[in-house]
């Protein structure tokens, strides 16, 4: 099977590192013209310069602050005034860790703006072109915690579950336009986010970060955590024509971590 995205345009959130960067690279290697989106202009500029252009692509970036919803609305609206996308990968940084006893209503509001309102607003802007073009791919980076909540990620558990159910509803509404909507339930991947969470867990438990990681790997049936490149492969497939009959799904990529069906 040869996946080609030549002639397609993609917008990838949180693409200055980790999973987002890996996704952007894989989409570009598959032929898409990619717009990267994050807060670090220096990193974005460097990554854009590295993306392949051998299939006639042009790449660009947008500097945004996902934690400032009003500012984000202005930036992304301006982008869509002169751009359209065929493939939208909704991905932002995660909210602060902590359990339910550590979080209060303002924390949930901030997480809602970050994880839900950003996704819905960006998707609304992208859908206009997709519907007119009768083709589109919307892919949401979610988490395995929507099925099996992680006690130290109360905000993420709660709001990402809302994103997944919204995406399921959206898939029914836009399916007739050949637009697919899927959510990826992310397991443990070797990213800065995991390192930050592991550092906090190590401090709380009074153990080393190496022990935290070893324990994490032991819980995964394949006995390792994921390489972000593997995430990029899944996104490229879901963005392709070969995945046209896959929509409204929640696909775990977790090395078998989830125990539920």
pLDDT digits (tens, 9 = 90+) for 18-72: 999 999 999 999 999 999 999 999 999 999 999 999 999 999 999 999 999 999 9
> What is residue 261's predicted lDDT score, i.e. its pLDDT?
85
The first and second tokens of residue 140, run together, are 């949401």
Rounded percentage of the chain residues whose pLDDT exceeds 90: 89
- Exposure string over 96-110, b if 16+ CB within 10 A, otherwise e: ebbeeeebeeeebeb
Cα 13 to its chain centre, rounded Å, is 7
In the predicted structure, residue 229 carries a pLDDT above the cut 90: yes
| DSSP character string of 185-225 | EE--BSSHHHHHHHHHHHHHHTS-HHHHHHHHHHHSTTSSP
Q: What is the CATH number of domain 9-190+228-253?
A: 3.40.50.720
Contact between 5 and 243 (Cβ < 8 Å): no
Contact 135, 178 (CB under 8 A): yes
Per-position b or e across 212-228, b if 16+ CB within 10 A of its CB: bbeebeeebeeeebbeb
Q: Where are the domains of the chain?
A: 9-190+228-253, 191-225
* pLDDT beyond 90 at 139: yes
Indicate whether 205 pLDDT > 90.
no
pLDDT score of 64: 98
Token pair recorded at residue 125: 């802007």
Instruction: For the chain, state the CA radius of gyration.
Output: 18
Give the predicted TM-score (pTM) of the model. Answer: 0.95
DSSP percent split of the chain into helix, strand, coil, nearest 5: 50, 15, 30
pLDDT at 194 > cutoff 90 = no
Do 235 and 14 meet the contact criterion of CB atoms below 8 Å apart? no
pLDDT computed for residue 62 by the predictor: 98
Instruction: Order the strands of the 33-38 sheet from edge to edge.
Output: 60-63, 33-38, 9-13, 87-90, 136-143, 179-186, 250-253
């Amino acid at each position: 099977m040869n996946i080609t995205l030549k002639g397609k345009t993609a917008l990838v959130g949180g693409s200055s590192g980790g999973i987002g960067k890996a996704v952007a690279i894989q989409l570009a290697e598959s032929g898409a013209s990619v717009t990267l989106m994050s807060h670090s202009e220096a990193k974005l500029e460097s990554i854009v310069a590295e993306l392949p252009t051998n299939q006639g692509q042009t790449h660009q970036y947008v500097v945004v602050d996902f934690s400032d919803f009003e500012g984000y609305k202005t930036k992304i609206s301006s982008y869509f005034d002169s751009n359209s996308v065929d493939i939208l990968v909704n991905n932002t940084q995660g909210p602060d860790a902590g359990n339910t006893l550590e979080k209060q209503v303002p924390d949930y509001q901030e997480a809602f703006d970050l994880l839900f309102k950003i996704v819905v607003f960006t998707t609304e802007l992208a859908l206009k072109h997709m519907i007119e073009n009768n083709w589109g791919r919307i892919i949401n980076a979610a988490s395995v915690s929507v099925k099996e909540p992680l006690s130290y990620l109360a905000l993420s558990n709660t709001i990402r579950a809302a994103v997944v159910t919204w995406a399921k509803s959206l898939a029914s509404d836009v399916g007739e336009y050949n637009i697919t909507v899927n959510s990826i339930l992310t397991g443990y991947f070797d990213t800065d986010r995991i390192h930050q969470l592991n550092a906090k867990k190590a401090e709380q438990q009074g153990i080393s970060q190496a022990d935290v990681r070893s324990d994490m790997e032991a819980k995964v049936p394949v006995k390792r955590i994921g390489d972000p490149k593997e995430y990029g492969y899944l996104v490229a497939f879901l963005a392709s024509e070969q995945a046209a009959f896959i929509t409204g799904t929640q696909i775990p990529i977790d090395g078998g971590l989830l125990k539920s069906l």
